[in-house]
Chains A and B, each alone.
Chain A
Amino acid sequence: MRRIWAILISVVFLHFFIGTYFPTLPEFGNIDMYRRVSFDYISKSTTTSYQPVEYKKSKGLEDGSANVVTSIVVNYRSFDTLGEVTVLFAAALGVGILANIKKRRIEFEEHKVLSVATGMIFPLILVFGTYVFVHGHLTPGGGFPGGTVIALGFLLLMLAKNEFKVTDAAKHTEQVAGSGYVLVGLIGMAVVGVFLANFLPTGTIGNLFSAGVVPIVYTLIGFKVGAELSSLVSDMREGDKV
């Protein structure tokens, strides 16, 4: 009986979408970029007139990051990123609230190969994660993948050593980084007059020190996401922490 309902719902859904919805979409690969706002995001000309942007040559643009997706996520639509950080925060806090189960801590045997290998790999993982979020404005990546890589390093450490605990340092990091992001927005409000405005100079595209406030924000996000995901996994494992 359930299967019949399930097949019915799926078929009705697919019929609606493929029949009514697909004809309204443009053909795959054939979009009209000039009608969309992305055209101005790419040429960084939302407040100025159109000028083609060139790598390592254009200076002093309204937004200086070479990675256009980063410029959208952290600069043009920074409020959405604040919301996204809040979703992750609420989820990690929810897991922390729900994690009160007695006698839960998962114990396992330590494996010699894993312990030795972790000792060698863990610093490399941390360096790689830091590289990803520091260079978020130059190469694909940014705060969220960088923070996840760092949290995975801590997960590896948790799997290798039985007594490893993520202490309250993670909670304090999360606290400082999160308020730091809102503080950057409020400083923007004090300096430029509008919440979350960019107040540092944007240098040449393609240099490490460019793009104004974007590397700072991505560093804060990287720390926050790393601390959050580590404490989330640790809460799932530890259980009762009265």
Chain B
Amino acid sequence: MIALLVAVPLAFGFATVALPKLSRYILPLVTLFNLVLLIGFIHPVQVLEIGKWPAAYGIVLVLDSVNYPFLIFVNLVLFALSISAMFEDKLGVLLLVLTAALNGLLLTGDFFNSFVFLEIIAVVAYVLASQNKNYYAAFKYLIFGSVSGVLYLIGVVSLYVYAGTLNMAYIGFIASPEYVQVAGIMILIALLVELKILPLGLWAPDVYSNGSTVTPVALGSAVTVAIFYLFSRIFFNVLEPVKPLPVYILSLISVLFAQLAAMRQKTLGRALAYASIAGASTVMAALSSGALGVEKIASAAYLYLLNEAISMFILFTIYGYLNHKGFKNDSVAGIAFSLASISLIGFPLTAGFWAKINLLAALFEAGDYILPAVLLAATVIEAGYLIKWNVDLWYIDNDSQDEEREKTYLPFGAQVVVLLFALTLVIIGFMPDLITMHTDKIASHIFDFKTYFDTILKGGM
């Protein structure tokens, strides 16, 4: 039954290529079907051997308590995207393919399969990045992304040579640790390019700021979350960890650079893009803060990731529609925008507050003082420019163009989605245990290789 999560969007994607108008209505239905299937009918822990070949010989799809919440969240984001964004007809077919690929990436238990799904996501991302005539940025992204894909492929094939199979659990069991370090470095660099950590993530500001309502949301909220899952699965669960210190230092530098750069941008789109880079770098720094096995830090990092994804969804959608026109006409958009900015900064009574407090507390407990200092400095800078943008947009000065300015509202679907997400942020701010219960469960299972291996062993040979 798990295979339906991937097969149904793919079948509909193939089937609607000759009638693209239909795909716009099928996309919300398909993601809704996925959500219903996940919440109602499929429960962890399940292993599906595709084609009925035993685990080391064929491909396995694994659903356990680590990727179950991620699956629900990614399908929810895609469902919201299908209602709130505005795109041309043919793009709906690509978004169906993206749904199938994201679900497949979250479910897979085989390294080469993850490479194939990463490449599907990459090709769709290149086409999405070129919306609104943003071709040069899409080309730069293509060059960066292809070289990183090639590095990932070399890493995966080396793992096959060391272990003799391509299954994730068996590679973790068979391959010897010092060989795995070398392949791990290559896979790590490839994932860092996709996660926008700064010297490797130079493509991100131009791609995210193209002003479309689909691109930054799909890439920043859905794809980034899925690749953080893949990163956690590979480096915490399956393989022996690569030395975390270089990644930690790189992420810290990336946070500071991104926040400083965001302060100096003249357009809201580029500022938000740099804020998104900073958020992803913070999560990466938290996950690699040299404390392998400290579950509280990982749990707080996942809560931070959730807050980032939802806030960025709201901010980018509103920017895509309104594009520097103010909030005087559209107070719904204004309220949601301000709530999302407050959550991103981390004022009390929003999800961001609990994310940052939990993270700081866990880091102090583990004895790490550098990341909290950087995080506090980054928060101050972020508060600075976000408040400035909020004030600018609420009290926009347009006496000069009163007659010709058409009223730009958000369409009804977008209004509903954006308000609901902003409401969610406030609710999590009042009752954080709703989410911390789940992130604690993820964190407690993800460092446990033995359980993962036993699951695959029992489900297989």
Contacts and interface: CB of A to CB of B under 8 A. Distances in A.
A touches B (Cβ under 8 A): yes
Interface of A: 20-21, 24-26, 31, 35-37, 40-41, 46-47, 75-80, 82-84, 86-87, 89-91, 93-94, 96-98, 168, 171-172, 174-175, 178-179, 181-183, 185-186, 188-189, 192-198
Contact of B14 (A35, A46, A179, A186): A179
B141 to A, nearest CB: 13
Given A40-B57, A90-B123, A83 B116 contact: yes
Interface stretch (B88-96, B190-198, B285-293, B422-430): B88-96
A93 B93 contact: yes
A139 B162 CA distance: 30
A198 B93 CA distance: 29
Given A20-B182, A94-B126, A198-B51, A182 B158 contact: no
Interface magnitude class on chain B: 35 or more
| Interface residue SS majority, chain B | helix
Contacts of B161: 25-26, 31
Contacts of B11: 179, 182-183, 186
Given A77-B58, A89-B97, A97-B94, A195 B7 contact: yes
Contacts of A20: 182
Contacts of A86: 10, 13, 97, 100-101, 120
Contacts of B52: 192-194, 197
A25 B161 CA distance: 7
11 contacts: A24-B178, A25-B161, A37-B166, A79-B50, A79-B51, A82-B10, A83-B120, A87-B123, A97-B91, A182-B7, A195-B51
Given A80-B112, A83-B116, A46 B94 contact: no
Given A76-B58, A90-B120, A182-B14, A25 B97 contact: no
B113 A24 contact: no
A26 B50 CA distance: 31
Interface string B12-25: 01111110000000
B14 A96 contact: no
Interface of B: 3, 7, 10-11, 13-18, 48-54, 56-59, 88, 90-91, 93-94, 97, 100-101, 104, 112-113, 116-117, 119-120, 123-124, 126-127, 130, 158, 160-162, 164-166, 178-179, 182
A192 B48 CA distance: 13
Contacts, number: 144
Contact of A172 (B18, B116, B127): B18
B120 A37 contact: no
Contact of B7 (A21, A78, A185): A185
A94 B123 contact: yes
Contacts of A198: 51
B18 A37 contact: no
Contacts of A35: 164
| Interface residue SS majority, chain A | helix
B90 A97 contact: yes
Contacts of B50: 78-79, 194-196
A136 B123 CA distance: 28
B211 to A, nearest CB: 17
A98 B133 CA distance: 10
**Most A Cβ at <10 Å: residue of B58, B117, B179:** B58
Contact of B48 (A93, A96, A188, A195): A195
A24 B158 contact: yes
A185 B91 CA distance: 26
Contacts of B100: 86
B51 A91 contact: no
Nearest to B179: A24
Contacts of B13: 86, 89
Contact of B49 (A36, A98, A194): A194
A168 to B, nearest CB: 7
B53 A47 contact: yes
A84 B123 CA distance: 12
A168 B17 CA distance: 11
Contacts of A193: 52
B158 A90 contact: no
Contact of A175 (B18, B97, B116): B18
A77 B126 contact: no
A223 to B, nearest CB: 13
B279 to A, nearest CB: 28
B17 A174 contact: yes
Contacts of A175: 14-18
